[in-house]
């Protein structure tokens, strides 16, 4: 009997082969049991799950920047953040927004500046390599607007040269074409405090040794710092908005700002209102950091309760890591936010599918925790959906103003797998959420994440919109999850709203059969969710759209039997479905094939074998790359395509559990 060893992840178990590709169901059963036991071992005593959410080194660089600017923070923690940030410098001197990705100029400049702020010498080999790469890639001028504004506050860029973010944007009425609620919720939460910062123009003088004049190609005194017009297309929205921006700067220079005080007061109130019932503004890192700086710009003292609370929530995102095998020194890293509702909903759903009794007290405790997080107040979404009762769930521990449709649909799926003694209450909560979700359905039949019909493409041409996340359009991955959820609550294609969603999904299919994944990397994610939704809602397996999608999944399978896809596919669609195999993406591909009616192909059998071979004895899977100090989780989650990516540390566990369970059910003929 031959032994095969999984080559991904330390501690992967050895599995016997039996002269065939497909795995004996007893091996699948054993893997499911181990996985379920491991998941339960990760449950918090309060009932929820919350895995780490990992992102790039920008978080540590910004952490250092903020505390230097405000003369706050623990020097030891800042030093440990520097150690963490330096772990991820590339050999060419740059830093990347995902493991194995190309260098990113804004991130590299931030990291270089953080090093200088922490006292590193420009002659240090780390900074020599970084400086060479930055200068070869355009220097500071090539950075995005957010980076430039941060640099302005420490005297490293000119406020007159950055795109204006006027606080007057909060004064625009909702009927006006360019109003605050026509941009994405996350951009809203980031930009409102940033507009206060822009208006107040904070400045802290730092020593010349901490400055970064050396990062300007040709010298700072010779650099043209302003955004340049597109001379190849003189008549364009980009040039129109650049002209408007130049005009605004001229008007500001002569102090023609009749609405500025009113705008700042309204922006302040908007921000303070949304600091209530939340884990910081928007419960996301950049908005929380901007809010702290904005409060200080507005004159709030260090010991003001608003500042103390905002800082406390911000610091809660931090993780202290003692010295260990992967890093000889203690480090400190920041998370972009926390994901307890999302992780709990998926863990409960996967465990319920795995056969854990519907009355298991551990699942009931998790459900009660999720029910306690139901949104009961109107948030930003209500600016467009006014006559709908609040309902649904958010992503984090507390974020009452920003429930999202994706979390809400997944929580509803989780609730459907548990028999709650409070059956009537759970039913009422579920019906409120479904009613809210239907009210949030967009005009084209799909669902976006936080807002309805947030699709005005003109906003992407605004000069400060270079963070590539101004809009929140409907997506097929969320819509696919919505279809799966609705089928679990008795909805069918006979409902016109459901049929509109199906037609939206069909219209969005790529020519090769795949679907784009907005919130997970990338086409494998989008395709698996659509296929599960279509199967659940009753679309026949033999429909050409379904079979074409299944064939695409089979075509992109890796030779080792798994599936993977790099974040590079967002920049180059030719790379879709291409990347090293990962447990989460392999699970998605298997789930997609099973949803398409394929449970007997070699592709499925090899994928199952890949998961079995790489499961550790502890019941979990590994999803990282590198070794020693450079070891880093692979990113299979998406924040903003082409800008910000995530590693959900629990994806590698509950998705394989769901895939193995679904495979077992398919092989046993279980519905």
Residue 293's region, left for phi above 0, alpha for psi from -120 to 50, else beta, is: alpha
433: enclosing H helix or E strand: helix 423-439
What's the CA gap between 382 and 452, in Å, rounded? 10
Catalytic entry in 56, 406, 477, 613? 406
DSSP 454: B
* 54 strand-pairing partners: 647
What's the CA gap between 443 and 500, in Å, rounded? 9
Which DSSP string do the residues of 313-381 spell out, in sequence order?
A: HHHTTEEEE-S-SS-SS-EEEE-S---HHHHHHHHHHHHHHTT--TT-HHHHHHHHHHHTT---S--GG
Residues with Cβ within 8 Å of residue 574, at least 6 apart in sequence: none
Three-state SS for 4? strand
639: enclosing H helix or E strand: strand 637-640
What's the CA gap between 22 and 609, in Å, rounded? 7
Tell me the longest C-alpha to C-alpha distance in the chain. 84
Which DSSP string do the residues of 581-630 spell out, in sequence order?
A: --HHHHHHHHHHHHHTT--SSHHHHHHHHHHHHH-BTTS----EES-GGG
Contact 618, 11 (CB under 8 A): yes
Percentages helix, strand, coil for the chain (3-state, rounded to 5) are 50, 5, 40
Active site residue 572: no
* 657 strand-pairing partners: none
CB neighbours of residue 580 within 10 Å: 18
- At residue 284, φ and ψ (nearest 5 deg) are -125, 145
Residue 490: exposure state from Cβ atoms within 10 A (0-12, 13-18, ≥19):
exposed
Residues annotated as part of the active site: 406
């Amino acid at each position: 009997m031959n032994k095969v060893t999984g080559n991904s992840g330390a501690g992967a178990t050895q599995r016997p082969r039996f002269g065939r590709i497909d795995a004996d169901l007893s091996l699948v059963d054993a893997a499911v049991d181990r996985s379920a036991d491991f998941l339960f071992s990760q449950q918090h005593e309060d009932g929820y799950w919350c895995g780490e959410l990992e992102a790039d080194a920008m978080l540590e660089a910004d952490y250092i920047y903020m505390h230097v600017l405000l003369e706050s923070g623990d020097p030891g923690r800042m030093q440990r953040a520097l150690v963490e940030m330096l772990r991820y410098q590339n050999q060419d001197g740059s830093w990347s927004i995902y493991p194995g990705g190309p260098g990113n100029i804004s991130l590299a400049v931030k990291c270089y500046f953080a090093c200088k702020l922490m006292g590193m010498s420009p002659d240090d080999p780390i900074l020599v390599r970084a400086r060479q790469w930055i200068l070869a890639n355009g220097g500071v001028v090539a950075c995005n607007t957010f980076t430039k504004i941060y640099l302005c506050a420490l005297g490293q860029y000119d406020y007159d040269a950055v795109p204006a973010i006027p606080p007057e944007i909060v004064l625009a009425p909702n009927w006006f074409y360019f109003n605050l609620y026509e941009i994405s919720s996350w951009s809203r939460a980031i930009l409102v405090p940033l507009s206060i910062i822009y208006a107040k123009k904070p400045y802290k003088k730092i020593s010349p040794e901490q400055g970064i004049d050396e990062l300007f190609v040709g010298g700072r005194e010779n650099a043209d710092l302003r955004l340049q017009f597109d001379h190849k297309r003189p008549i364009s929205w980009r040039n129109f908005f650049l002209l408007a921006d130049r005009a605004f700067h001229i008007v500001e220079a002569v102090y023609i700002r009749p609405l500025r005080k009113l705008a700042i007061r309204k922006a302040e109130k908007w921000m303070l209102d949304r600091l209530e019932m939340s884990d910081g503004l928007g419960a996301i890192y950049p908005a929380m950091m901007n809010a702290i700086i904005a409060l200080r710009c507005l004159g709030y003292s260090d010991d003001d309760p608003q500042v103390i609370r905002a800082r406390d929530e911000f610091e809660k995102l931090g993780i202290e890591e003692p010295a260990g095998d992967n890093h000889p020194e203690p480090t400190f890293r920041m998370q972009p936010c926390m994901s307890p509702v999302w992780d709990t909903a998926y863990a409960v759903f996967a465990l319920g599918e795995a056969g854990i009794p519907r009355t298991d007290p551990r699942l009931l405790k998790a459900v009660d925790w999720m029910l306690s997080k139901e949104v009961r107040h109107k948030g930003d979404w209500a600016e467009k959906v006014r006559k709908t009762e609040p309902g649904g769930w958010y992503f984090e521990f507390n974020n009452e103003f920003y429930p999202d449709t994706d979390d809400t649909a997944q929580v509803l799926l989780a609730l459907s797998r548990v028999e709650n003694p409070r059956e009537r209450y759970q039913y009422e909560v579920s019906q409120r959420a479904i009613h809210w979700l239907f009210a949030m359905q967009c005009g084209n039949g799909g669902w976006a994440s936080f807002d309805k019909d947030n699709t005005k493409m003109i906003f992407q041409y605004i000069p400060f919109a270079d963070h590539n996340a101004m809009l929140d359009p409907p997506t097929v991955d969320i819509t696919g999850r919505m279809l799966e959820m609705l089928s679990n609550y008795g909805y069918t294609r006979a409902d016109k709203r459901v049929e509109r969603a199906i037609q939206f999904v069909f219209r969005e299919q790529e020519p090769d059969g795949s679907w784009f994944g907005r919130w997970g990397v990338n086409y494998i994610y989008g395709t698996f969710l659509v296929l599960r939704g279509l199967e659940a809602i009753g679309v026949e397996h033999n429909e050409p759209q379904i079979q074409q999608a299944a064939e695409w999944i089979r075509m992109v399978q890796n030779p080792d039997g798994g599936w993977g896809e790099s974040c590079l596919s967002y920049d180059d669609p030719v790379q879709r479905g291409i990347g090293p195999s990962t447990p989460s993406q392999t699970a998605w591909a298997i789930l997609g094939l099973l949803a398409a009616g394929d449970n007997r192909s070699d592709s499925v059998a090899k994928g199952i074998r890949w998961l079995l071979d790489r499961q550790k004895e502890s019941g979990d899977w590994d999803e990282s790359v590198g070794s020693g100090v450079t070891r880093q989780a692979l990113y299979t989650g998406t924040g903003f395509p082409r800008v910000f990516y995530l590693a959900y540390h629990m994806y590698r566990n509950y998705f394989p559990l769901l895939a193995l369970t679904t495979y077992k059910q398919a092989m046993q003929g279980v519905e």
